Structure 1
């Protein structure tokens, strides 16, 4: 995190652990208000990788699951980076600002992703670096976010994943049950924006933003689940994170074969876990009824729910999810209930 921004957040009342804002002093209130009020949060827990150079677009086209030709100053996309076996090493939002492409992904997985993808530059005229300190980033959400932001930023994107570039801000509209925006910019403009938002909105911790990703059914790959899932297992193909027309990229054969020839036995579900103990990415699920040799499933992401327990996304064996007899970890673990996602996932028939 940029030191000047860190000091600014501390002065604003942020409680920070491991370069991540945990709260602004009242976590329970923050967890509650994100569902109905106007909130904003620091997104420094999400890092940035920048890709520059005349071959940048061609290089990314051969590495990522989505079609980089659709990324422009006006449109971003979700995408993933896979092994040759089609397993996701990481997933991220891809956007463009100026001449640079950016991958926005968790800080915890940035270094390994940067090291891996840099191995394949070879003769390409491409520069790849950790750009986490180059841009400050915040999230804004709430039922009235459109109107409140429009009073500050004169032009907002209208469609999910679209971008506007206004007054030094890169503004991206995100999927969610209520309007959400990611905003990127230099230090001083974002400090000014923070002060303007602070008049009518409540600052919240990083976990509150992930709760909204969970509610929206948007997966995040962390080190604990890297190489665990093909994109379809996390519904990436449903949320426009995979292109099946773009041609070759690392892992493409496996991903395409699963789409056209295979039958997906596991996919991502939204769940609620009846526990007060911390639930983490990579935690295993249990079911007495499961016949899967790999176990019934695994947590993708999880955050405490203001009504109690944990809200989470999990990749689950479809038959086990339908049986609705899931627990966390083992037979004595917390009960799990399956909730609805905000989008439909078509099940392929035999």
Structure 2
């Protein structure tokens, strides 16, 4: 099997939360960073739940399904998201439900994966699949597809993926692709209550609507953009030695210039100070390992 062969893997680290009821879109519209009114059963969006100060708390894909809006937060943190949503429910005519026991998340990726599922290379495009829904990743079509599939009949859904010509792969295979592309994944790469969306390139990953109006953290997110306050950016990096733990400082000589995030097989993400990259003449290191960085192809260059 080639490295980029089309395949799929069950993504246990993501669960499913449902928001139903007649006020579901209005309710979420005032809380999350993307335009919920554009989300339908055929159109998904990537979005964020931020603190009032514009810091990262949760990220998820939003899709219409069965008369509800489905979100796929991190499995281990979905209770926190539900708790925060309930705080703002007030008199809204909505119901909040944890559906992690009835719906599961699968990722399909690699060359030809979207075509095998009948999906276009158009961020957020969605279609029914095996009793659930298949979505061209709204962050970046190069990531492949996100599928939300019912637990009842899950084996049949996997058989349908096999029949579509997708090989069974591992989550490590998927993460290798994601990290190489430079795409962060929730709290594994962004520290809740501290990470700034634009530093992590989430605007370039279609997580923020600049025209929808107010939402939690909107004022400071907009100020960060329009006043050009970004001093750091997340970069895909390659290491020529052992991969240190996330949080290990990245240094330029004796100067600390950033911090390592998650990684796999010699590839990782690192949050680096832009001004230091512009003037870097010596190699960057993390621990005793040399590190090389590059700007992701899907985002505009930020340093010469």
Provide, for residues 76-95 of structure 1, a one-character-per-residue CA deviation record: whole Å limited to 9, x for no partner.
11111111111111212111
Measure, in 2, the Cα distance between the counterparts of 1:299 and 1:106.
21
Supply the RMSD in Å over aligned alpha carbons.
2.6
Count of aligned pairs: 299
* Cross-structure match for 1:171: 134
Contact 1:176 1:216 in 2 (8 A): no
Helix, strand or coil: the match of 2:5?
A: coil
Measure, in 2, the Cα distance between the counterparts of 1:36 and 1:341.
18
* Cross-structure match for 1:213: 178
* Cross-structure match for 2:288: 333
* Cross-structure match for 2:43: 75
Distance 1:123 1:234, change over 3 A: same
Which of these residues, 273, 277, 286, is aligned with residue 321 of structure 1? 277
* Cross-structure match for 2:122: 159
Where structure 2 has 5 or more consecutive residues not aligned to the other structure, the ranges are: none
Distance 1:197 1:59, change over 3 A: closer
Structure 2 residue 209 is matched with structure 1 residue 243 = yes
Provide, for residues 77-117 of structure 1, a one-character-per-residue CA deviation record: whole Å limited to 9, x for no partner.
11111111111112121112121112212223322222223
Provide, for residues 142-162 of structure 1, a one-character-per-residue CA deviation record: whole Å limited to 9, x for no partner.
22324544xxxxx43441211
CA shift for structure 1 position 226: 0.9
Helix, strand or coil: the match of 1:136?
A: strand
* Cross-structure match for 2:221: 255
Measure, in 2, the Cα distance between the counterparts of 1:129 and 1:34.
40
Contact 2:119 2:125 in 1 (8 A): no
Structure 2 residue 159 is matched with structure 1 residue 184 = no
* Cross-structure match for 1:234: 200
Measure, in 1, the Cα distance between the counterparts of 2:83 and 2:241.
37
Measure, in 1, the Cα distance between the counterparts of 2:228 and 2:202.
16
Which of these residues, 100, 104, 107, is aligned with residue 75 of structure 2? 107
Which of these residues, 232, 243, 261, is aligned with residue 266 of structure 1? 232
Provide, for residues 17-38 of structure 1, a one-character-per-residue CA deviation record: whole Å limited to 9, x for no partner.
xxxxxxxxxxxxxxxx573212
Measure, in 2, the Cα distance between the counterparts of 1:248 and 1:176.
25
Helix, strand or coil: the match of 1:113?
A: helix
Distance 1:300 1:161, change over 3 A: farther
Measure, in 1, the Cα distance between the counterparts of 2:107 and 2:251.
35
Where structure 1 has 5 or more consecutive residues not aligned to the other structure, the ranges are: 1-32, 150-154
Which of these residues, 142, 157, 168, is aligned with residue 193 of structure 1? 157
CA shift for structure 1 position 222: 1.0
CA shift for structure 1 position 42: 0.6
CA shift for structure 1 position 176: 5.6
Once the two structures are superposed, the pairs formed by residues 125-164 of structure 1 within 5 Å of their partners are 125-149=93-117, 155-164=118-127
Contact 1:108 1:222 in 2 (8 A): no
